[in-house]
Structure 1
């Protein structure tokens, strides 16, 4: 494939600085004779459509600030390179079914999300939410200490076994944990490669492990799949961490068990985001909350920028693209 006739990059200034170093940007610019850098922070869908027509962009590199693409897509636009995660605010399923080629940050951030999951495992085992409220809000000390646990020697269950789960396995290894996963359809040879046992079902995962991490994709089968039956299998002081998709956990069951105060929870994703100010989850001493921040840290967004550059080079050289968003992947996104 010859060089793209035109590349249009639309990112807010802060996003541009986070994702692209000057070196990455310079390498992108070398791949075309027409490199258009557009940093308007707020644009409408109509303004975007006009800009695409004006630049005759063959490739659009964009991020969170970019509005929904026009339907149908401009004839000149062949590839949409989204530097961040879910593309649901950018493209429709119809775009994909009509053949639009769209990629996102794929597994470039997997190790960072796995790091956040591990952080939450530590926080729950050590009851950090309790001590944060006790010392900051109540101005107290060590009264009524909840059970505290170590990660060493634990049994850890992971719901789902995608890229993030595999990175989490690597991070868990120094702690001598036994790891099990419930990931229907995952080939046995993949689990053997990572030294992970297979749970018979979701109940088996919760019954056999004192730490469970939700990293399952959101599908018709996984929605509300963690319910009261599974949560009741966790004993006092045991842990559920959720950094995957919020609706995988049944909300009523979550609120019921969390309010009882016996199981430790760390939640980064929710049924409704932002989490309502009056959510019963707020203020519970056994629930660590973060506002969907398990993704790349400010200093590691450049990983996604490097991934984007590699994909752009692959496009130029007519090589396979990584992290292509299919209709099925689109359906599982939030």
Structure 2
């Protein structure tokens, strides 16, 4: 039997028996994450020994981890972002890396729009006040017919476009690849990120973290944005300079933010957690039942294929 390590805690949450049978039929034994949390580099090194495959979430898979694994023949990313995996090292070691592309796009788009609405309408603050007996009416900001900037026009970004069109929003977007036909068909204003922050009432991020996109939201472009700006990040924490964001929120230079991804997770010491104009998630935008099932099934199919199964 071949052996694989599975690190994501939501893997097979709703369809475990069927995917375990599929793996067993392919001659693959599963070893689950023994720590029930994101594993450290040292834990990855020790637990991967003797494994043929890896289904991984956001746990660290750098060159040292890959080289120490020794017997590893395939990696299936449970999700899309591969910034936690050293792709150069995996190529050098001839270890294929697959992703579950598009499996969670609708779930993340739903969650992103929901977080945006929650910040704009002060839903969390109103809920907490009302439960404590405070029936004071709170004024919030509108979404309908406002300007939104979508950074990243992949499957999730396009999902946001569809949802924003239902609110008659004026849509701005940026991506490294400019899909002229899609932009024209959807009446999107394609613009640079700095210009987008000057013009838009809402910004959502849906791009991978790379050297080029690190701190794409930063101190310089936050200086020129609208006072009522709401920023939503359900992608990767490193896309935003968190200190600059904190300063802008603390001084009410922008209206609010919804953050589902932090540079360090969990963000136990982040000052962003102290602010009442910020709502946070536990990097859980993809955590719907349908998305979990689809990511699990795709990761299983990918690892079976790359380990030489059907």
**TM > 0.5 between the two?**
yes
Tell me: CA distance 1:171–1:25, structure 2 relative to 1, closer, same or farther (3 Å): farther
Q: What CA distance in whole angstroms lies between the structure 2 residues aligned with 1:180 and 1:160?
A: 11
Q: Does 1:10 align with 2:5?
A: yes
Tell me: CA distance 1:141–1:191, structure 2 relative to 1, closer, same or farther (3 Å): same
Q: Does 1:213 align with 2:204?
A: yes
Matches within 5 A, 1:226-305: 226-261=217-252, 262-277=254-269, 279-297=270-288, 300-305=291-296
Aligned to 1:140: 134
Q: What is the CA distance between 1:87 and its match in structure 2?
A: 5.8
Tell me: CA distance 1:243–1:91, structure 2 relative to 1, closer, same or farther (3 Å): same
Q: Does 1:120 align with 2:115?
A: yes
Q: What CA distance in whole angstroms lies between the structure 1 residues aligned with 2:214 and 2:308?
A: 40
* 5+ long unaligned stretches in structure 2: 36-42
Tell me: CA distance 1:160–1:36, structure 2 relative to 1, closer, same or farther (3 Å): same
Contact 2:8 2:57 in 1 (8 A): no
Q: What CA distance in whole angstroms lies between the structure 1 residues aligned with 2:288 and 2:302?
A: 21
TM-score of the pair, normalised by structure 1? 0.74
Aligned to 1:168: 160
Aligned to 2:38: none
Q: What CA distance in whole angstroms lies between the structure 2 residues aligned with 1:65 and 1:226?
A: 22
Contact 1:226 1:249 in 2 (8 A): yes
Q: Does 1:71 align with 2:71?
A: no
Q: Which has the larger radius of gyration?
A: 1
Q: What CA distance in whole angstroms lies between the structure 2 residues aligned with 1:204 and 1:98?
A: 42
Name which of structure 1's ranges 124-133 and 86-95 shifts more when overlaid on structure 2: 86-95
**How many residues are paired up?**
299
Q: What CA distance in whole angstroms lies between the structure 2 residues aligned with 1:13 and 1:282?
A: 25
Q: What is the CA distance between 1:265 and its match in structure 2?
A: 1.3
Q: What CA distance in whole angstroms lies between the structure 2 residues aligned with 1:67 and 1:283?
A: 28
Q: Does 1:38 align with 2:31?
A: yes
TM-score of the pair, normalised by structure 2? 0.79
Aligned to 2:194: 203
Q: What is the CA distance between 1:275 and its match in structure 2?
A: 1.6
State the superposition RMSD in angstroms.
3.4
Contact 2:229 2:255 in 1 (8 A): yes
Tell me: CA distance 1:84–1:212, structure 2 relative to 1, closer, same or farther (3 Å): closer
